[in-house]
């Protein structure tokens, strides 16, 4: 019999007690260890005292703003987040993705669908394997003062801050940084991002690039990192450097 520590740890935040009881029982059948919180305060307390592999968050838990909670969490960690919501319009999905969510499940929902989404997000959020374009032992890529860390899935800005990225944004950043100066088509980016919450179209990649650019543009040098190659796709403009190596003109 496997111990609880060997099972993936989920936190479900929903103020509907009947729903959470159902999900705890159902997730247990699939080998997940589940904790529950019924308010934003309870969620914060759980996050401070437990280590979770994924968060399932109701957008309207106890009257709180789920998107604001998602942004708050994303500024502090790369914990994968699946949003439960009865509001699932394209605009709602875009707002949630911009806040840092990794996927959505609309209410009412089938528990088996949620299990499938959990499995998919956990696969996508696993540490990415370095491609043949970088040495196998490289866990950090540095460029123009930025540092991209594979193991803890963080992007550090030139002034040392952690830039909050969704799983899709982080995967896209990895694809660009591993193969700098390469022109990626939208189809090639879709293959590397594997983002189920996005529609499988070139337009979805344009929107994802736009969101990533908006975040990078807040910091010095960020505007120049991703360039549009008209008719072909996108290109990462920086060169990789050794940690601590100064940029050259």
For 169-181, how does the pLDDT look when each residue is reduced to its tens digit (9 = 90+)? Answer: 888 888 888 888 8
CATH 3.40.50.970 fits 140-236, yes or no: no
CA proximity to 189, closest of 146, 235, 147: 235
Greater confidence (196 vs 173) lies with: 173
**Residues of the chain with pLDDT > 90: what percent?**
18
Q: What are 233's strand-pairing partners?
A: 229
Query: Scanning the structure block, which residue is given the tokens 């009865």?
Result: 86
Task: Identify the band that residue 2 occupies on the pLDDT scale cut at 50, 70 and 90.
Answer: very low
Pick the CATH number of 6-125 from 3.90.1150.10, 3.40.50.2300, 3.30.420.10, 3.40.1190.20: 3.40.50.2300
pTM exceeds cut of 0.75? no
Task: Identify the band that residue 195 occupies on the pLDDT scale cut at 50, 70 and 90.
Answer: low
Q: Coil, strand, or helix at residue 106?
A: strand
Per-residue pLDDT of 93-134, as tens digits, reads: 777 777 888 888 888 888 888 898 898 888 777 654 444 344
Mean pLDDT of 78-88: 83
8 A C-beta contact, residue 194 and residue 157: no
DSSP notation for 152-214: TTEEE-TTSPEEP--HHHHHHHHHHHHSTTPEEPHHHHHHHH--TTS-SSHHHHHHHHHHHHH
Q: Coil, strand, or helix at residue 203?
A: helix
8 A C-beta contact, residue 73 and residue 166: no
Per-residue pLDDT of 24-58, as tens digits, reads: 999 999 999 999 999 999 999 999 999 999 999 98
Q: Which helix or strand (DSSP H or E) is residue 33 part of?
A: strand 33-37
Report pLDDT for 141. 83
Domain ranges in the chain are 6-125, 140-236
């Amino acid at each position: 019999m496997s111990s609880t520590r060997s099972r993936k740890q989920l936190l479900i935040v929903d103020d509907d007690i009947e729903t959470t009881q159902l999900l705890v029982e159902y997730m247990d059948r699939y080998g997940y260890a589940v904790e529950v919180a019924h308010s934003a305060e309870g969620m914060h307390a759980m996050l401070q005292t437990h280590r979770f592999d994924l968060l399932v968050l109701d957008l309207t838990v106890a009257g709180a703003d789920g998107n604001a909670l998602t942004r708050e969490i994303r500024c502090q960690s790369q914990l994968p987040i699946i949003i439960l919501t009865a509001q699932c319009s394209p605009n709602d999905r875009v707002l949630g993705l911009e806040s840092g969510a990794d996927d959505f499940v609309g209410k009412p929902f089938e528990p088996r669908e949620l299990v499938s989404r959990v499995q998919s997000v956990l696969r996508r959020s696993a540490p990415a394997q370095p491609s043949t374009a970088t040495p196998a032992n490289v866990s950090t890529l540095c460029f123009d003062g930025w540092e991209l860390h594979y193991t803890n899935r963080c992007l550090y800005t030139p002034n040392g801050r952690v830039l909050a990225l969704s799983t899709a944004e982080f995967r896209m950043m990895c694809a660009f940084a591993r193969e700098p100066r390469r022109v990626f088509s939208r189809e090639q980016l879709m293959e590397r991002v594997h983002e189920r919450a996005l529609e499988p179209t070139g337009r979805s990649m344009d929107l994802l690039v736009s969101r990533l650019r908006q975040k990078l543009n807040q910091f010095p040098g960020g505007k120049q990192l991703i360039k549009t190659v008209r008719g072909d796709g996108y290109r990462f403009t920086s060169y990789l450097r050794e940690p601590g190596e100064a940029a050259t003109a």
